[in-house]
């Protein structure tokens, strides 16, 4: 019986092992077992794997790691009945069309999640590595049974481990930029540091739309990842995507904030932070995200205000996809979490009707707001801040500033972009019609004059 094993590292620190034991006619065991030496480190001294794996106090941390029966360390069934990896590890896998791309490259099934993790194990998000290791029979038996039983097994064959994992469902590649300005796949240049987000035949000018959305966000004062719009002619990394006529256009080059000239930087998305499977990325609430940020020493109130700004900006441009996997924490020192730069901000309303947001503002028991009204009405903003114990005045000021900056920047950014004429018109009209924009334009006559000339 095969027992594949992946040794899990954060940076150079071995934190444990993930194994898959699938006896006949019995539910498979896919379990993460923490390394004893890692579990024994003083609270706060070890590099963080996930906020979902931190105990409430120092005394509980070691027992927390060694509780191998806990849900967070074991496989779960999804809504279709298939077995998923423990949530933190399942969220490391690529999604959608890119998952199929990786599976084809590695010659594995797209729903063989353990094999997918092995295939991408050397180039995962953040500082995590999942490295294949052959273990002797005694060590394997000890790992699976925790020294309670003997076990007969055979050792699994070493898998393909040369793929990259990138989240999200649109066509994309991991690339590096050469000194000549061309974009190539992984070479002697080392880890891929750029995500090439490719055009899609069913979504005209998608890279241009995302470029405009991200450029507007940055102009509005939101901290974003680094990005640039590049010609497809500069892309020299091979792929099998059918891009249709869009192949003649541009791609968005997104510089990974979990990579740097000094090495990898650890990160995790909020599905990992909250310990939920990827299929539940549209559950939970922005209030829960805000509460976590408020409780993290390097985040606090400023990170909550940044979250409020991002929600307000998405409301302006019609982006209903800031779900749990499109928000993240970054650990620049390996231990202290900060809110990551914004990424994957796209004016989805240019492609289909947008009637709300990816997450509830409060929990699911609270009826969602009327999509015809701003998500940040005075009453909702007041309640949101009150639950968190924050003053609403700074949040209100942040929203007003963001709206005005967006209004001041949008005409020039949108009209000079490579979007289609209709996309330009639709985005400008959406921003202008928003209740917060109308209120801002009544207060700022010079901005109102510019918009009158743009829309006439």
C-beta of residue 153 within 8 angstroms of C-beta of residue 161 = no
363 catalytic? Reply is: no
Q: How far apart are CA 155 and CA 236, in angstroms?
A: 39
Residue 456: CB atoms within 10 A of its CB come to: 5
Helix (H) or strand (E) holding 293: helix 286-295
Q: What angle do CA 385, 387, 391 make, to 5 degrees?
A: 30
Judging by beta carbons within 10 Å of its beta carbon (0-12, 13-18, 19+), is residue 397 exposed, middle or buried? exposed
Residue 412: CB atoms within 10 A of its CB come to: 12
Q: Of 379, 408, 371, nearest to 396 (Cα)?
A: 379
Q: How far apart are CA 76 and CA 178, in angstroms?
A: 42
Q: How far apart are CA 424 and CA 411, in angstroms?
A: 9
C-beta of residue 195 within 8 angstroms of C-beta of residue 174 = yes
Place of tokens 């091979």: 238
Residue 228: strand, helix, or coil: strand
Q: How many residues does the chain have?
A: 456
Residue 276: strand, helix, or coil: coil
**Per-position DSSP letters for 62-102, written without gaps between them:** HHHHH-TTSGGGB-EE-TTS-EE--HHHHTTS--HHHHHHH
- Write the DSSP symbol of residue 155: P
Check 258, 315, 321, 344 and give the catalytic one. Answer: 321
C-beta of residue 70 within 8 angstroms of C-beta of residue 55 = no
Q: How far is CA 98 from the centre of its chain?
A: 14
**Per-position DSSP letters for 22-70, written without gaps between them:** --TTSPPEEEEEE-HHHHTSPTTTSPPS-GGG--SSHHHHHHHHH-TTS
Contacts 24+ apart (CB under 8 A), 304-307: 304/388, 304/390, 305/394, 305/395, 305/398, 306/222, 306/223, 306/339, 307/339
Place of tokens 């990992």: 272
- Catalytic site positions: 321
């Amino acid at each position: 019986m095969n027992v594949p094993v992946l040794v899990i590292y954060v940076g150079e620190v071995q934190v444990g092992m993930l194994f898959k034991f699938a006896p006949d006619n019995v539910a498979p065991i896919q379990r993460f077992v923490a390394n004893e030496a890692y579990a024994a480190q003083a609270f706060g001294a070890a590099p963080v794997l996930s906020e979902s794996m931190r105990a409430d106090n120092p005394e509980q941390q070691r027992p927390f790691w060694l509780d191998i029966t806990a849900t967070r360390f074991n496989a779960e069934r999804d809504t279709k009945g298939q077995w998923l990896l423990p949530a933190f590890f399942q969220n490391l896998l690529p999604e959608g069309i890119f998952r199929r791309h990786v599976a084809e490259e590695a010659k594995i099934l797209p729903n063989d999640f353990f094999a997918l993790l092995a295939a991408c194990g050397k180039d995962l998000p953040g500082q995590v590595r999942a490295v294949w290791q052959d273990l002797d029979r005694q060590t394997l038996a000890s790992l699976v049974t925790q020294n309670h039983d003997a076990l007969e097994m055979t050792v699994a064959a070493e898998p393909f481990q040369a793929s990259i994992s990138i989240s999200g469902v649109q066509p994309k590649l991991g690339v590096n930029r050469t000194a000549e300005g061309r974009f190539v796949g992984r070479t002697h240049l080392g880890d891929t540091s750029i995500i090439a987000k490719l055009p899609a035949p069913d979504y005209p000018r998608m890279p241009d739309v995302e470029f405009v959305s991200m450029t507007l966000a940055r102009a509005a004062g939101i901290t974003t990842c680094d990005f640039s719009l590049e010609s497809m002619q500069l892309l020299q990394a091979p792929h099998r995507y059918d891009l249709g006529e869009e192949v003649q256009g541009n791609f968005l080059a997104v510089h990974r904030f979990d990579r740097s000239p000094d090495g990898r930087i650890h990160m995790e998305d909020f599905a990992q932070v909250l310990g939920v499977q990827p299929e539940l990325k549209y559950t939970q609430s922005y209030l829960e995200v805000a509460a976590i940020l408020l409780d993290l020493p390097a985040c606090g109130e400023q990170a909550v205000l940044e979250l409020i700004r991002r929600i307000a900006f998405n409301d302006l441009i019609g982006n209903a996809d800031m779900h749990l996997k499109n928000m993240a924490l970054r650990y620049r020192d390996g231990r202290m979490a900060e809110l990551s730069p914004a990424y994957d901000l796209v004016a989805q309303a240019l492609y289909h009707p947008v009637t709300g947001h990816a997450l509830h503002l409060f929990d699911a028991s609270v009826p969602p707001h009327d999509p015809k009204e701003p998500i940040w009405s005075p009453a909702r903003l007041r309640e949101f801040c009150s639950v968190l114990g924050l003053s609403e005045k700074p949040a209100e000021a942040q929203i007003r500033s963001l709206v005005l900056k967006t209004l001041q920047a949008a005409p020039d950014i949108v009209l000079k972009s490579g979007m289609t004429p209709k996309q330009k018109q639709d985005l400008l009209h959406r921003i202008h019609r928003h209740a917060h924009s109308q209120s801002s334009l009544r207060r700022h006559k010079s901005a109102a004059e510019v918009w009158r000339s743009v829309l006439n």
